[in-house]
Amino acid sequence: MIVLPLVILALAGTAGIAKSKRDNKQVDPRTQAERQVIYETALNTCKDPAKLRTMAQAFREQGLIAEADMLCKRAALQELPQEVKDARREAFRKGMASTDQAAVLSLANAFHSEGATGAAENLRKYAAGLTSAEEKTHEQA
């Protein structure tokens, strides 16, 4: 009777140790770098939704959930309704015309969360330019 709880405790401990070992498994830095290059290349150049979904599946199987979700969102961009696309284009133009840095950055984050990383990057760059231009104006004043 006393042995049974000890056995259960030993089994639980062994499972825990095995799980922690599996979780702490280090990915080869070279492999990690290759995956990063593939991911960024897919974001910057790939416009084929089928390829994007294939790569998303591969990343998901490797446990890279965030990257897989982003690739899936980018694959779905072309399948949006026309009115949604028009609204997003209009929002981008308004963002590039705005002088409110905070609003531009929030718009950039929204685009990034939807998978439009290129639009997000351009908006962030524009917001950084707004900040520098304001600083310059204050210095000259």
Q: Which residues bind another protein (CB under 8 A)?
A: 34-35, 37-38, 40-42, 44-47, 51, 54-55, 58-59, 61-62, 74, 77-78, 80, 82, 85-86, 88-89, 92-93, 96-97, 99, 111, 115-119, 121-122, 125-126, 128-133, 135-137, 139
Alpha-helical segments (H) within the chain? 3-23, 29-45, 49-61, 65-76, 82-97, 101-113, 117-140
Rounded Cα distance, 63 and 27, in Å: 11
Q: Select 10 or 32, whichever has its Cβ closest to another protein.
A: 32
Q: Select 19 or 51, whichever has its Cβ closest to another protein.
A: 51
Q: How far is the CB of 86 from another protein (least distance, A)?
A: 8
Q: How far is the CB of 47 from another protein (least distance, A)?
A: 5
Q: How far is the CB of 82 from another protein (least distance, A)?
A: 7
- Go through 50-68 and write b for each residue having 16 or more CB atoms within 10 A of its CB, e for each that does not: eebbebbeebeeeebeebb
Q: Check if the beta carbon of residue 129 is closer than 8 Å to that of residue 108.
A: no
What are the two backbone dihedrals, phi and then psi, of residue 65, each rounded to the nearest 5 degrees?
Answer: -70, -40
Q: Select 19 or 85, whichever has its Cβ closest to another protein.
A: 85
Q: Check if the beta carbon of residue 70 is closer than 8 Å to that of residue 117.
A: yes
Q: How far is the CB of 2 from another protein (least distance, A)?
A: 42
Q: Select 14 or 62, whichever has its Cβ closest to another protein.
A: 62
